[in-house]
Structure 1
Amino acid sequence: MKSKDAAAPDPTAIGEISSPPFARLPDPASLFAARAARLSQLADASGLAPYLNFLSGLATAQHLIQADLPPPEGPDTQTLMRAREFEMPPLHRNGIGDGEAIHAVFDRLFAAADAINKPAAAAEALRRVTAADREARLAMAETVLSGALPADAIAEHIFVWAALQVHFARLASVLDAAKLRPVADGICPACGGMPASSMVVGWPGSHGARFCCCSLCSTLWHYVRIKCVLCGSTKGIAYIEIEDHGGTVKAETCDECLGWTKIFYQNKAPATEPIADDVASLSLDLLMREGSYRRGGFAPLLAGF
């Protein structure tokens, strides 16, 4: 396996970029079903097929449990005004509270996940998180929201993360995208989450623009290219990819913070889904481990590899 050093600027024509919106909110009614379909498609030609099929089942569960949930309640006017005034995300990641909404998502997702075909270790992890009381589940949620997964309980926390994704995607969906503003480099403007990856899109009106994808609520936000997603530097940016992979995914490296993030080229591969394709491109993560850069953002589905 070899890397191709793309130390020169990203070669995709920046002149194609139109006037993209700053943010694109998730549609929970279609988000997880589309992700499940993409994971299943990727599994057909991958050595990670068992894991990708498991994740497809989990995404299907994320989709199905929303059927009878009450409509999400977005932030009140005062919260929105304060967030705008102080340049903060309107959704509070560190204060999900102990309301019925989050516990309903926990209960439904854990029950639906029981039917997924999975390894014995994952089944045991699901049993533990299902048996956990509300306080313990909220403690695990706080750990996930901190951007770290404990090495001895990754699987349990992935189930919790999957539930949080549903909860926060629903909350983000009722925000006004036109009123979202940049918060900080590497921070979702809707919920404050870290990016899972970024992608150069081919959407009408946004062709050639780059959007980051939140690992928590799945909000997409516009972020200029050839700029580090993690620290905002425009110096020392380079691109590394695996040869003969079609140039559809690269590692964007930064010599200022020594971090790297994945950048997908959805304009070249329209079926790209940032969470699903992140897992399927594990080979790039393995390649990057040989170097001195550390992966930034948050990619819990790759935490066990």
Structure 2
Amino acid sequence: MAAVTSVSFSALTQCSERKPAFSSTRFLGFNLAALRFRSNISYHYAAVGASNSTSKMIIQCMSSATDVPTVAETKYNFLKAYKRPIPSIYNNVLQELIVQQHLMRYKRSYRYDPIFALGFVTVYDQLMDGYPSDEDRDAIFQAYIKALKEEPEQYRIDAQKLEEWARAQNPNSLVEFSSREGEVEGILKDIAERAGGNGDFSYSRFFAVGLFRLLEMANATEPAILDKLCAALNINKRGVDRDLDVYRNLLSKLVQAKELLREYVDREKKKREERTESQKANEAISTCLGQSINSLASRH
């Protein structure tokens, strides 16, 4: 199993295109040094007049150790919610992934949006494709999202909603969302507005994968369509290209890793069957010899 368990998320995210390599932390846009949470507390003070003309001070806590859970707490919540063992090839990736998403989740600029959800659901389903149990795969998803204090049902509902919308689009209508009305069109307009002006937008690798999934569902394969969609959403196209290169390479590495896992499982199954057959043969021989000995003993 050594050949399989050695496949870590860092190894899976090495990219041979454009740059020599991307580590797992590069895939999700963070450096592990950021794990050192600072416990500094930032306060804003405001003096207000009271009825007795005595000034009182209101303290608004903007960030504190109690506001943001630690990475260890998030991982503990995940393990507490899903107690069953997870095969190492999946567990190694999930453990690193949840650390990176924790850092995204608790950035000051973080704001949930459905394209981010679509991107994460796409990555998760690709990572967990072929998991031994569909029921366990869903339970792991539930535990993972809840550990981040978000709603797994919302992720799934929003991802499905966007996929269904994208299937009904063509390349032109996909990028011309701003000229139409609708629920998904409204979501895209809101993202474009936040990304284009007020700074209330936090780009992530999952967002890039979500855009890729929209294009895939709409059969929009021309590179120019991605250019237009990024422009319409006020998103940096260069960053999206870089992140999608890493994502594609990740999928390729996962295919290789899962093939190793299948080969290992097949070998172990064959060995178990051989051991079972050998044990049955030994038991048959022992039974036969025992009967023969008992028969001889009874004659005397």
Higher strand share: 1
Q: Which has the larger radius of gyration?
A: 2
Structure of greater relative contact order (alpha carbons < 8 Å, 6+ residues apart): 1
